[in-house]
Chain A
Amino acid sequence: MHAVKALALSLALTHSAHADDWPRFRGPDLDGISKESGWKTEGEAKVAWQTKVGLGHAGFVISNGRAITTGHNGKDTDTVYCFDASTGDTIWKHSYPHPLDDLYYPGGTTGTPTFDGDVVYHVARRGQLFCFDAATGEVKWSKNLMTDLKYDMPTWGFTGSPLVDGERLLLTAGDAGLALNKNDGSVIWQSKNGEASYSSPYPLTRGGRDLAIVSNKRGYVCVDRATGEEMWDIKWLTRYGVNAASPIVTGDLLFVSSGYGKGGTLVKFPDDKATSEPEQVWKNRDFATQMNAGMLVDGYLYGIHGNEGQDGSGLKCFHLESGESKWTDTSFAHGAALLADGKLIAISEGGELAIGAVSTEGFKPTLKQKILGAKCWTVPTLANGLLYCRNDKGDVSVLDLRK
């Protein structure tokens, strides 16, 4: 195990100017932006390894030479896979019974696990929360959000990734989140029952208080991370109650956005007090993120706008303060994107990878390559020069972007 880890690290360090793990959804800074540099942005990317993990949309997280994702077998079982990040060899896997729950999509897992040092956390759609030993896959503890904590399942199941916050594990559950002791799963605080939505808890600090924004069916709620006390909320009603995209926070501005034609709103905190509710700057329907939030660079958001099959869906550049669109590339349809070292890495819904410089003038890829079949809604993960991509059927393709 250690040899593998050392090998992966040495390869990464040799070939990348800056290499990083990606231990959680949206990355170390929760902004969808990787700090890796020195990786390949033109020519053709070689496939490092491929595998199949089953149905779903869970992304990859990478830590200490391990790559973890999940999938469903199409019948009755979810599996959490831990691969050797470089070779794709299976280090461990853990299966548990789970229905397909194919509600208006082919079904399968939706949430991305979260690494925390030697452990990894995973929530199943029907609420089974696991704390695994990251090295062995041994279940250190497990709890069920429905049977143990009496929460109703959200329409598409529990999907937000757990957020590790000191000794706490914050989860998107109930009306306004849930905090468990990350070591044993005991309850620190819990919000009342209600329909959770699908974003991951997003931390922020205001007025010296540690806060988190969690989503529910009717909007986004800001709570005190220590106590669960509600500070304020943004009512953000969407068709089907889906608020899935992470908030974007920059300075005293906060942006939330949802799909189904809803769009987003930019709000501003009037002062530094934790309890002060933000005031609306604007709202419009021009940047509607159904699933994956955009990435903010120099005042512009880059990301996927719109829903599957909707006219105008695609990769978009959007000016945050004014709420105006700069450009949209509809060839990406309802795909996914991340950002690293001033480059956009986007995968179209149909499975074509494109890499090119971030620009407010448009997207001109310097690398374009068909890597997977449809549908690719999952954001690829870049870690240590490798790009981990999957589609909804669970075909995984890991590309080697090391020079």
Chain B
Amino acid sequence: MPYDHPDATMHATRRRFLSTAAAASTLSIAPWIRAQSKAGKTYRLGVIGAGGWWAMNILRVALEDGRCECVAMCDVDADGLEISADEIDADTGKLPNTYNDYREMLEQEQLDVVIISSPDHWHALQAIACLEAGAHIFVEKPTGHTIQESRAMLNAANKTGKTVQVGLHRRIGPHHVSGIKFLHDGGAGEIGMVRCFAHSPGGGPEAPTPNSEIPEGLDWDLYCGPAPLRPFNKRIHPGGFRHFLDYANGTLGDWGVHWLDQVLWWSGEKFPKSVHCSGGRSIKGEPVLNDKEQTTDAPDHQVATYEFEKFTCVWEHRRFGGNDVEKSNVGTYFYGTKGIFHMGWRDGWTFYPTTKGASPVHQDPQFDHEKDGHNVPPLWRDFIDSIEANRQPVANAEVGHLATNMSLLGMLSWKLGRSIDWDGDTEKIIGLGADEANLLLRRDYRGAWQYPAI
């Protein structure tokens, strides 16, 4: 059921306070410049996972672009949802309808466009539901929690013909575009190896966080959805799900998707031939999960090696011991015959020539959003332009799927504890022990939730 009014979620035993505030407030309407869409229509936009900070960033970009109107928001956390709806009301003067369940929203609202920014284990299921309901989607990476979920999302995109843009804003950020061009133009010579990495400093043993009562207004059962129902813990929600493997795939499933995608973009390759990944929790310690307390369970460091036909790609992350020895804690090195090229984030890109005495070549980044250091606005424009021109956007479903596969293949090898040979055409692991390994391309869902067919 949609909440008829945000106050419906109020503490029932307390007298209502400010119950007329939303109606009575005289909020200024932000001066959105409404660029009319080509079709002359304003798209009906809905948001799944609207209570989250990043969802609101994307939504604000969408509203600034001017071709969408936010009519509906959905989140399993009623408080987060109310806060976000209130913010949009303050920005635009229009309070969107709010929903707990995305299925209800899709049924009621006849949405043209949906932003999906829920925890990772939801992306594929919700994307498929939106596509089947006739909506175009802007979905956060990764496109699946397991490989076959992501494949099912790609199939649904192909079948429905709806436009899918995956939130890989590093496909369109100016320094990424110019950097990849530099490489394609042979600026670094022949490249035989690449290394993607994301390190953070500090770190230490992780003390378990006590489980607690499910907060008022949070539909924890629906939060977990198809994934295992863990005891509620504040480390998971809000905002901490990425390091719980039931709901995401740790740093490799997060940063890894962005940087490994740069490798696919540069190489034009779709998948590796083989993958080997090792890592663990040598600093954070063994994961804890019991009825009293829990820790995260994602590895605090990982090294994955991807063999391609013509080059080797290494992923490396540490959630400790990040410092400035390597000049940068994040990005991708392309090792070429003419030198080393670093594709970075806030540090732009830099090419370090092999030739003695030659000066490095550098390009600063240009972010549309300086504080968060991203380029979501051009990605959004490309998304809506693609809908209107009926063309494929820069980070379409296949781009997102293949980049997601890179990270998920690494996780799969790590879970198996051995290397795997990958047939990317059939999307199956091949060779000795393939049957066992292929079981990890999917997972059993909880309760009545159905794993999508491919």
User: CA separation between A146 and B293, bound complex, in Å?
Assistant: 13
User: Could you tell me the distance between the alpha carbons of A104 and B216 in the complex, rounded to whole angstroms?
Assistant: 23
The proximity string for A residues 106-117 relative to B, scoring 1 for CB distances below 8 Å and 0 otherwise, is 100000000000
Nearest A-chain residue to B56, judged by Cβ: A239
Contacts of B14 in A (CB 8 A): 221, 230, 232-233
> What is the CB-to-nearest-CB distance from A76 to chain B, in angstroms, rounded to a whole number?
8
Bound-state CA distance A309–B216 (Å) is 30
Name the CB-closest residue of B to A221. Answer: B14
A195 to chain B, nearest CB (A): 6
Q: How far, in angstroms, from A241 to B24 measured CA to CA in the complex?
A: 24
Tell me how far the C-beta of B319 lies from the nearest C-beta in chain A, rounded to whole angstroms: 11
Instruction: Give CA–CA (A277, B21) in the complex, Å.
Output: 14
Instruction: Give the residues from 74 to 123 in chain A that come closer than 8 angstroms, CB to CB, to chain B.
Output: 74-76, 99-104, 106
Check if A4 is an interface residue, CB within 8 A of chain B. Answer: no
A102 and B25 contacting across the interface, CB-CB below 8 Å: no
User: Quick one: given A101-B207, A102-B202, are A233 and B82 in contact (CB under 8 Å)?
Assistant: no
Asked if B212 and A153 sit within 8 Å, CB to CB, the answer is: yes
Residue-by-residue, is B202-224 near A (CB-CB < 8 Å gives 1, otherwise 0)? Answer: 10110101101101100000000
Task: Flag whether B10 is at the interface (Cβ < 8 A).
Answer: yes
Q: In the complex, which range does the number of interface residues on chain B fall in?
A: 20 to 34
A238 an interface residue at 8 Å Cβ cutoff?
A: yes
A76, A233, A261, A285: most-surrounded residue (chain B CB, <10 A): A233
- In the bound complex, CA of A155 to CA of B238 (Å): 9
Interface residues on A, range: 35 or more
Let me know if A359 is at the binding interface, CB within 8 A.
no
Inter-chain contact A235/B10, CB cutoff 8 Å? yes
Which of the residues B15, B83, B202 comes within 8 Å of A106, measured between beta carbons?
B202
- Contact A311 B371, beta carbon cutoff 8 Å: yes
* Cα–Cα distance between A20 and B14 once the two chains are bound (Å): 41
Partner pick for B83 among A193, A238, A309, CB 8 A cutoff = A238
Point out the residues of chain B lying under 8 angstroms from A104, CB to CB. 239
Of B14, B24, B25, B205, the most chain A CB neighbours within 10 A belong to: B14
Instruction: A173 to B392: give the CA distance in the assembly, Å.
Output: 53
Q: Are B18 and A237 in contact (CB under 8 A)?
A: no
Q: A280 contacts which of B10, B18, B82, B83 (Cβ < 8 Å)?
A: B18
Find chain B residues with CB under 8 A from A235 CB. Answer: 7, 10-11, 17-18
| B residues near A193, Cβ cutoff 8 Å | 213
Interface presence of B80 (CB below 8 A): yes
Partner of A283, one of B21, B53, B87, B204: B21
Cβ contact within 8 Å between A232 and B15: yes
A217 at the interface (CB under 8 A from B): yes
- CB atoms of B213 and A239 under 8 A apart: no
Chain A residues 310 to 325 lying within 8 A of chain B, measured CB to CB, are 310-311
A249 at the interface (CB under 8 A from B): no
Is A240 part of the binding interface, using a Cβ–Cβ cutoff of 8 Å?
yes
Interface check B79, CB cutoff 8 A: yes
B394 within 8 A of A: no
Q: Are A100 and B204 in contact (CB under 8 A)?
A: yes
B92 to chain A, nearest CB (A): 14
- Contact A239–B83 (Cβ < 8 Å): yes
Q: In the assembly, what is the distance between CA of A238 and CA of B213, in Å?
A: 19
Q: Does A48 contact B (CB under 8 A)?
A: no
Chain B residues packing against A (C-beta within 8 Å): 7, 10-11, 14-15, 17-18, 21, 24-25, 53, 79-80, 82-83, 86-87, 90, 202, 204-205, 207, 209-210, 212-213, 215-216, 234-235, 238-239, 371
Binding site for B on A (CB under 8 A): 74-76, 99-104, 106, 146, 152-153, 155, 193-195, 217-218, 221, 230, 232-235, 237-241, 261-262, 265, 277, 280, 283, 285, 309-311
* 22 pairs from A and B in contact (CB 8 Å cutoff): A75-B204, A76-B205, A99-B207, A152-B212, A153-B209, A153-B212, A155-B234, A217-B215, A218-B79, A233-B11, A233-B14, A233-B15, A235-B7, A235-B17, A237-B82, A237-B86, A240-B238, A265-B18, A283-B18, A285-B90, A309-B371, A311-B371
Which 8 A-B residue pairs are closest in the complex by CB-CB distance? A99-B207, A152-B212, A155-B234, A237-B83, A233-B14, A237-B79, A280-B18, A234-B17
